[in-house]
Structure 1
């Protein structure tokens, strides 16, 4: 039975080499700019904060364990990342409605407003970066990038990496 490598043609290998290189460049540029938006909000919210606030906005109030599970990261990482969001008033801790002993995290009114500002700024950046694209190209890119991210998530779920804080520094 042929292996995956045996089934890859020279053309496929070249395309896959180009793909991995472009993904690496994208990751570097996205981290350098944080794709943070435009104007005064450029680089104004780090990736972890944005993803946590976005998840709480989309899924509603939840405990640390549920939030960590929904994001595919460790509870201790969520706890560490949520602390400054609580301190800055973007997230609030409240009692669980059914179990007063449990604590849930939810967006504060300030967090909702801040997230809306950051989303609008990032949306404007995406518009600027793709302003000369056809609408079909934007849609296709979004579909393919979503598909790629889902494949990465499935791969991570099947074979998780160590927690973020145990990874070696990126070069």
Structure 2
């Protein structure tokens, strides 16, 4: 795309308006998610919560794997993991495949916190979507999956 061309120039007016509306709504969603992270635990940010959640989903992984997954610099991941460790939410163990490396996993406290949060989040989604019919829910889920797969 040439520097003078904007994303809106690539779409007709109605589609550009729809994309603008999607951008506004996703921004509002992200702001709400950032706000909720600090309500979960005063020391958590959205980034640290996301890392903790990913570690839980994977059953643990190395810091280099986190950096690659989140497309972050290793030093950034290291600081975020150190913050989680200071809060007692993760622990490190020797990597059985490479004793020079470490596997980072949620601690018991971190896993318990995640279970509580994911349960609360699930209840919140159920509440927000309670009036949606099955077809709308399925379409919304498919659209989100399609959007996330295109990244």
Q: Same fold (TM over 0.5)?
A: yes
Q: Is the 8 A contact 2:8 2:16 kept in 1?
A: no
Deviation at 1:7, TM superposition (A): 6.5
Q: Is the 8 A contact 2:90 2:106 kept in 1?
A: yes
* Counterpart residue number, 1:15: 18
Q: Is the 8 A contact 2:33 2:46 kept in 1?
A: no
* Counterpart residue number, 1:77: 76
Q: How many residues align?
A: 143
* Counterpart residue number, 2:149: 150
Unaligned runs of 5+ in 1: 37-41, 155-171
* Counterpart residue number, 1:24: 27
Deviation at 1:127, TM superposition (A): 1.2
Q: How well do the aligned residues superpose, as a CA RMSD in angstroms?
A: 2.5
* Counterpart residue number, 2:114: 115
Q: Deviations over 1:75-117 (max 9, x none)?
A: 1111111112112222101111122222221122222211111
Q: In structure 2, which of residues 39, 57, 76 is the aligned counterpart of residue 43 of structure 1?
A: 39
Q: 1:144 to 1:7 in 2, by over 3 A?
A: same
Q: Aligned partners of 2:128 and 2:8: how far apart in 1?
A: 36
Q: Aligned partners of 1:30 and 1:49: how far apart in 2?
A: 12
Q: Is the 8 A contact 2:92 2:104 kept in 1?
A: yes
**What secondary structure sits across from 2:40 in the alignment?**
coil
Q: Aligned partners of 1:150 and 1:13: how far apart in 2?
A: 21
Deviation at 1:56, TM superposition (A): 1.1
Q: 1:96 to 1:131 in 2, by over 3 A?
A: same
Q: Which has the higher contact order (CA 8 A, sep 6+)?
A: 1
Q: Aligned partners of 1:58 and 1:43: how far apart in 2?
A: 21
**What secondary structure sits across from 2:103 in the alignment?**
strand
